[in-house]
């Protein structure tokens, strides 16, 4: 494991996680009934390859645990951990993106494979960007978008410096927390503090070489789709997160999924004005509203197909092959 021991606990600053309880929780956790574990928990969300839970026990309070069961070997998890640590250091230390208090845990799962937990300070759901946009007027959503673009610009200022490193980032509004947001007095100020919470995909390149093993993205993919995704989509999707314009397109198009399509024309104007005034040196082409519609329709279809094929894969594993299916699948969402 690249010289790193088989079991690791890195506590978030100020916390003292019960490591033995976390291991016991993983052993008893059941994807068929995630909140039915003997150790009380609550599902906070799903990623493409992970599930995020709150564990309601002493020494676990105030934290979110993101379980990632995608690793097969200690060598894989060792490489991932090195990239994860460096990615967080680059975002917070070199680029200046605010990050929540965080740590991680590594140990052998009940299936005999290494499992990785990201341990992160838990925020109120009402402070997460995709919740906030439903509580504030349109002009404050514009302000929030501009603040988000300002944070993202820091990444491309770094990428366009003389550093050998490039950092990729998923700028969707659901990946940002407005730390000082009060749902009882919902407002966004120009100096509001944003924190970036999605660090489980540490996209990092040095001299153009990807440091993350992107094959891990395919680990949870249905076997019948994996080769198609590898050949036709993997490189394209990875490259998207290193392109400021494409990250902004994804950010804006996501307002369709978040059920705020009426905001998109004005948000496009805000983004294009930002690129003209704040990012003129990058020469970013204006974003068109019809481009967002096409992007979102294609993305929504691919995601629908991917998830339905995964549900078929899960059925084959559980009901036909009688094997354990270890990858969490998010519930159906309104798009």
The pLDDT tens digits for 248-270 are 999 999 999 999 999 999 999 99
Q: Can you list the domains of the chain with their CATH numbers?
A: 8-121 (3.30.200), 125-320 (no CATH)
The pLDDT tens digits for 143-156 are 999 999 999 999 99
Cβ contact 263:168 at 8 Å: no
Radius of gyration of the chain (CA): 20
What confidence tier does 334 reach under pLDDT thresholds 50, 70, 90? low
pLDDT for position 301: 79
Pairwise CA distance, residues 12 & 33, whole Å: 28
Average pLDDT along the chain = 90
Pairwise CA distance, residues 150 & 24, whole Å: 42
Range of weakest confidence among 57-66, 85-94, 172-181, 227-236:
227-236
Reading the block at residue 260, the tokens are 């705020």
Residue length of the chain = 335
Identify which of 98, 103, 83, 223 has the alpha carbon closest to the alpha carbon of residue 148. Answer: 98
pLDDT for position 117: 97
Predicted TM-score (pTM) above 0.85? yes
pLDDT for position 232: 73
3-class state of residue 107 by DSSP: strand
Pairwise CA distance, residues 310 & 327, whole Å: 9
**Exposure letters 118-141 (e unless 16+ CB within 10 A, then b):** bbbbbbeeebbbbbbbebbeeebb
Mean pLDDT of 178-186: 92
């Amino acid at each position: 494991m690249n010289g790193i021991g088989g079991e690791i606990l890195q506590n978030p600053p100020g916390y003292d996680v019960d490591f033995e309880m976390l291991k016991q929780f993983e052993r008893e956790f059941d994807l068929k009934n995630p909140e039915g574990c003997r150790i009380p928990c609550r599902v906070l969300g799903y990623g493409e390859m992970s599930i995020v839970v709150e564990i309601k026990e002493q020494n676990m309070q105030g934290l979110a645990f993101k379980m990632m069961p995608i690793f097969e070997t200690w060598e894989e998890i060792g490489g991932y951990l090195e990239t994860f640590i460096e990615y967080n250091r680059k975002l917070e230390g070199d680029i200046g993106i605010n990050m929540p208090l965080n740590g991680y845990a590594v140990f052998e799962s009940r299936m005999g494979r290494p499992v990785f937990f990201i341990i992160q300070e838990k925020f109120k759901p009402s402070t997460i960007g995709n919740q906030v946009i439903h509580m504030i007027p349109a002009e404050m959503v514009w302000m929030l978008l501009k603040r988000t673009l300002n944070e993202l610009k820091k990444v491309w200022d770094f990428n366009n410096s003389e550093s050998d490193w490039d950092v990729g980032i998923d700028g969707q509004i659901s990946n940002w927390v407005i730390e000082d947001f009060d749902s009882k007095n919902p407002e966004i100020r120009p100096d509001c503090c944003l924190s970036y919470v999605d660090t489980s995909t540490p996209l990092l390149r040095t001299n153009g070489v990807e440091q993350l093993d992107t094959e891990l993205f395919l680990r949870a993919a249905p076997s019948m789709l994996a080769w198609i995704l590898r050949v036709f989509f993997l490189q394209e999707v990875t490259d998207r997160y290193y392109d400021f314009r494409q990250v902004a397109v994804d950010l804006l198009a996501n307002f369709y999924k978040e059920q705020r399509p009426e905001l998109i024309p004005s948000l496009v104007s805000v983004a294009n004005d930002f690129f003209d005034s704040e990012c003129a040196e990058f020469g970013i082409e204006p974003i068109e509203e019809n481009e967002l519609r096409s992007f979102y329709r294609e993305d929504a279809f691919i995601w629908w197909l991917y998830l339905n094929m995964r549900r078929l894969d899960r059925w084959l594993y559980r009901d036909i092959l009688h094997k354990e299916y270890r990858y969490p699948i998010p519930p159906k969402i309104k798009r």
